[in-house]
Every structure is written in C-alpha cells, then in structure tokens.
Amino acid sequence: MILNIIIIKSRGLVNDFVIDGFYLYVANSDGSVEIFDIREQKKVSEIFIKPYKNVRGEEAILYQK
C-alpha cells in the first residue's frame, strides 16, 4: 500500500523530478525547475530555463542520456 504524505502542485506538467535530502526538484513543461522543501511542504525557489534553439532557429528540447 502506498500512502501520500503531502500533495505538491507544479506549475506545468512534470517531466522529471529528483529528491536530494529534504529538497524535491521538479522539472516541468513550462520551462522551469521548481524546488520544494519537503519538510516545510512549500516551494522555496524556482529556476527558469530559456528554450534552446537549434541551428534553424526552432525551439528544441535538450536530452541528456
């Protein structure tokens, strides 16, 4: 059985997330990474990432494998 302890809402669709200690880093479809403090159950910061443009000037998504 999985129980939810807290509910955290992101500003966009969640693409990826990482938990580091008591911080949850959430990458979303709006081009930002939101940083949540799990203990306090609130957003503490947000990093905005400029869209990447390829050589043709089109917006592209960077993938790291």
0.85 exceeded by pTM: no
pLDDT of 50 reads 78
Tens-place pLDDT, residues 32-44: 999 999 999 999 9
Residue 14 makes CB contacts below 8 A (sequence gap 6+) with 26, 27, 28, 29
pLDDT of 36 reads 96
Which parts of the chain register pLDDT below 70? 2, 60-65
pLDDT of 20 reads 96
pLDDT of 54 reads 74
pLDDT of 14 reads 92
Q: Give the C-alpha separation, 51 to 48, whole Å.
A: 9
